[in-house]
Amino acid sequence: MKQITIENRTFELDKIKQLYPAVVVKTGYKDETTEMSLEWIDVESKGSVEVVGYGIFVRMNEESKESFLYETREELDEAIAKLAEQLNKK
């Protein structure tokens, strides 16, 4: 069974329903945050939102989601590269 490891946490690929990177931004309501696509932040946001951080999110089912948060885009990119390396192994 193929597995991936993110920040010392191991997941079996066949149990993952969704795996995605995203930017975490403030919604403008109190301290509430939400996830937005990296493409949206790069192309559409035009600096109009406050970025809180970046993350890789692993959804196992509707009730279970693991979040791995990073302060900078560079840290996220490094984590994505490590993840891609694992996924590309045969």
pLDDT 10s digits, 21-80: 999 999 889 989 999 999 988 888 777 889 999 999 999 988 899 999 999 999 999 999
CB 74, CB 47: distance < 8 Å: no
pLDDT of residue 45: 77
Question: Which tokens hold the place of 78?
Answer: 């490094």
Break the chain into its structural domains and give their ranges: 16-88
Beta-carbon contacts of 32 under 8 Å, excluding residues fewer than 6 positions away, are 26
* Helix/strand/coil for 47: coil
pLDDT of residue 72: 96
Contacts 24+ apart (CB under 8 A), 12-16: 15/60, 16/58, 16/59, 16/60
pLDDT of residue 1: 65
Residues 14-18, mean pLDDT to the nearest whole number: 94
